Structure 1
Amino acid sequence: MDDEVKRIKIHSMLSSLPWRSAIKALKYALRDKVERHSFSPSGRYFYVVRGELSDHIVLDDVFCSCMDHYLNVVIRGKRRACHHIASVVIAREFGKIREIEHKDQEFLGILRKIMLSEGMVIDV
């Protein structure tokens, strides 16, 4: 039964995406491009999907820092997720997430580094 639920979950996620995005989601998930950065002792975490041009931050299955998520999920409401979120879901189902542990003191530095790779301006 678990395999059936896994297949349905993945199929549902991929079928909600344009085919090129679905291919990217599978590629990122199955080629170890998904990382889970966890921080101790707080227990905070976020995912990073290492894309072709930049890295993107994913918070659970609801938020991604990419422009596609902002435009097509948040603003236009055309989809429920971008391919980065789909990558996280698929990688989690297949046990393909690379776990990276940090101390809480490193949180802002790690986050800043990833945001800079996305081209975000940081003024802190």
Structure 2
Amino acid sequence: MSVIRRTDARRTETPNAVMTTFASPTQGGTGLAMWRVEMAGAHAGPRHAMDTEQVWTFLSGSAVVDLDGEELTLGAGDTLVLPAGVPRRVRSDDGFGAVVASPAPSTAHNLDTGDRVSPPWTV
């Protein structure tokens, strides 16, 4: 059993959002990562695909997720299961907070640049 204290949560800032890791393989977990995403209004993440499934539960605000060309509007209380390997992009006009879980570690493939990275909030 591991206890990860609030003061030990890892915070990662990107140009589009802030991710706060609650658990990951390097932070008390084994094969699962769980983190909070906070995106301010008028922001969007990159168009990318993940090599693992993700489950997003929106806690506040709203977002539009382009999932392989289909636009899905989500708000507080909604949960979205994003399959592995499917192109996606998350954007928000008014900002949102969400909790996300996925198998870890995982790799993101930026579909515009071709880059592949392991997001630090999943390792």
The interval holding the TM-score normalised by the smaller chain is under 0.3
- Greater helix fraction, Structure 1 or Structure 2: 1
Higher-Rg structure is: 1
- Greater strand fraction, Structure 1 or Structure 2: 2
* Superposition TM-score, scaled by structure 1 size: 0.26
